[in-house]
């Protein structure tokens, strides 16, 4: 616990304790570059059984978000259209269409998830959870995987670099069929099959709950002993998995650092780390839409602070009627889509930002004369906090247009794409500074954009 607090203190500006409704002063230094805004955090894991990118109405509804990373899930599932064991023939139509649709929609980085054992390969095909168990014939499994990778990357040249293996085995596979050792042996056989088809392909995983680091440690020990390649890491985390997790978005930073450091300690190098599923809620819909929005925005701040290569929000459609995906049951964008869109609209050049109230997180970016600032107040505090946004290093004096997008209790529960809530004008002084007074209720998010 003490280490967690130290990490937070190292990244949030040092301040004295403040009251819940204490004012907040934010300073943004437009002429102080501070790295790059990681737009690869704007990604989606659509859900393995949804095939969302094969639905034009879903693709159209997500079009304004700016999604850059996508998880292609359940690639090895037992689709009749993919492989017919009776004839030994493949039909790649649906898989090809899904990949092409994701690329066309702007997904730059695809993570292909090799998950689900098809029934024809299952060791226990009569078991209710046959799909989550090890295949019965590793040789046949290896050929199946090689055929898929060869088709995708060699024949069709889709160029999928990242091949993720499995999905949350701690909840399923590690409790049966030989435990985690048997799983690691399956991983090694799968990695060999992937590399045989495309030596340039990267293989990793294993998309597990971040609260099981002992399994990742065992994974690294197995790989060191056997030479099995681990080219990247993936993990999952939902705020509901931790007591008071909705108040702890910094866990995304801490988990990422812990996994990257642990891998480096084992192998002497660092590899890309992805979150291949994340959200506040995984199986239930606790909290209000405004709370959801504030948590997501604060989480993106902490992901930005980390070394993450990318993140995939779960999920696209209205999963289990929780209204916690990007779209509602009528395929209309909801608060999650708008928060991701806010982050996607931040200019790529990150600039320095400081603030004096730990209830808030702030990200800022600049592109020429355009400046964007995303602010989250992930707090249940009643009342409205006064926020003073001081902008520095803006350059040429004179009036500048300002647009403000808001997610709060009044707006977060409503469907629709991200829209401008306020249009204002701010006067840039001769010294290149400007001051913008704002207000933020508990559980709210702002995107402030200063035009040229």
Lowest-confidence segment of 73-87, 269-283, 293-307 by average pLDDT = 73-87
The number of residues making up the chain comes to 452
List pLDDT tens digits, range 107-120: 999 999 999 999 99
Looking at residue 52, its pLDDT comes to: 96
Residue 177, pLDDT score: 66
Query: How does pLDDT run across 238-257, given as a tens digit for each residue?
Result: 999 999 999 999 999 999 99
The residue that leads in pLDDT, 19 or 296, is: 296
Residue 80: pLDDT band (50, 70, 90) is: low
pLDDT in tens, 400-444: 999 999 999 999 999 999 999 999 999 999 999 999 999 999 999
**Which pLDDT does position 12 carry in this prediction?**
43
Please say whether the beta carbons of 400 and 434 come within 8 A: yes
- The answer, yes or no, to whether residue 141 has pLDDT greater than 50, is yes
pLDDT for 202 equals 98
Spell out a b/e string for 326-363, using b for 16 or more CB atoms within 10 Å of the CB, else e. bbbeebebbbbbbbbbbbbbbbebbbbbebbbbbbbbb
Which segments within 200-252 are labelled E, that is strand?
202-209, 232-238
Of 327, 339, 289, 300, whose CA–CA distance to 447 is shortest? 339
Share of the chain above pLDDT 90, in %: 83
Q: What is the pLDDT of residue 372?
A: 98
pLDDT at residue 21 tops 70: no
Please tell me whether residue 351 adopts helix, strand or coil conformation.
strand
Residue ranges and CATH numbers for the domains of the chain are 13-37+349-450 (2.60.40.1180), 39-345 (3.20.20.80)
Query: DSSP 3-state assignment of 216?
Result: helix
Q: Are strands 232-238 and 444-450 parallel, antiparallel or unpaired?
A: unpaired
State pTM to two decimals.
0.94
């Amino acid at each position: 616990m003490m280490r967690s607090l130290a990490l937070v203190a190292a990244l949030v500006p040092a301040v004295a304790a403040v009251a819940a409704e204490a004012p907040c002063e934010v300073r943004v230094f437009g002429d102080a570059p501070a790295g790059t805004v990681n737009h690869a955090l704007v990604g989606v894991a659509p859900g393995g059984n949804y095939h969302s990118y094969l639905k034009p109405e879903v693709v159209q509804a997500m079009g304004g978000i700016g999604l850059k990373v996508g998880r292609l899930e359940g690639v090895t599932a037992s689709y009749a259209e993919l492989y017919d064991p009776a004839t030994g023939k493949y039909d790649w139509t649906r898989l090809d269409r899904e990949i092409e649709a994701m690329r066309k929609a702007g997904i730059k980085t695809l993570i292909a998830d090799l998950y689900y054992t098809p029934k024809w390969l299952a060791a226990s095909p009569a078991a209710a959870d046959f799909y989550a168990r090890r295949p019965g014939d590793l040789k046949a499994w290896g050929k199946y995987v090689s055929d898929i990778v060869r088709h995708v990357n060699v024949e069709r040249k889709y160029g999928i670099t990242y091949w993720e293996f499995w999905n949350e085995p701690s909840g399923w596979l590690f409790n049966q069929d030989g435990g985690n050792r048997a799983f690691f042996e399956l991983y090694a056989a799968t990695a060999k099959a992937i590399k045989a088809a495309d030596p340039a392909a990267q293989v990793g995983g294993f998309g597990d709950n971040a609260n099981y680091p002992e399994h990742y440690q065992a994974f690294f020990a197995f790989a060191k002993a056997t030479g099995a390649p681990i080219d990247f890491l993936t993990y999952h985390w939902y705020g509901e998995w931790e007591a008071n997790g909705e108040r702890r978005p910094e866990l995304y930073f801490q988990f990422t650092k812990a996994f990257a450091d642990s891998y480096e300690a084992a192998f002497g190098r660092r590899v890309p780390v992805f979150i291949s599923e994340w959200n506040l809620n995984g199986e239930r819909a606790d909290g209000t839409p405004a709370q959801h929005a504030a948590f997501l925005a604060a989480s993106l701040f902490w992901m930005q602070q980390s070394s993450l290569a990318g993140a995939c929000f779960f999920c696209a459609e209205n999963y289990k009627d929780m209204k916690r995906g990007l779209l509602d049951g009528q395929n209309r964008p909801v608060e999650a889509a708008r928060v991701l869109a806010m982050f996607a609209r931040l200019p790529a050049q990150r600039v320095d930002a400081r603030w004096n109230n730990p209830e808030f997180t702030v990200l800022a970016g600049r592109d020429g004369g355009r400046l964007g600032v995303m602010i989250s107040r992930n707090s249940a505090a009643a009342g409205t906090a006064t926020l003073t946004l001081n902008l520095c290093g803006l350059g040429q004096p004179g009036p500048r247009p300002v647009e403000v997008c808001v997610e709060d209790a009044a707006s977060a529960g409503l469907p629709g794409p991200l829209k401008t809530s306020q249009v204002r004008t701010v006067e840039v002084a001769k010294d290149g500074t400007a001051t913008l007074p704002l207000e933020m209720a508990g559980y709210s998010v702002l995107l402030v954009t200063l035009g040229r």
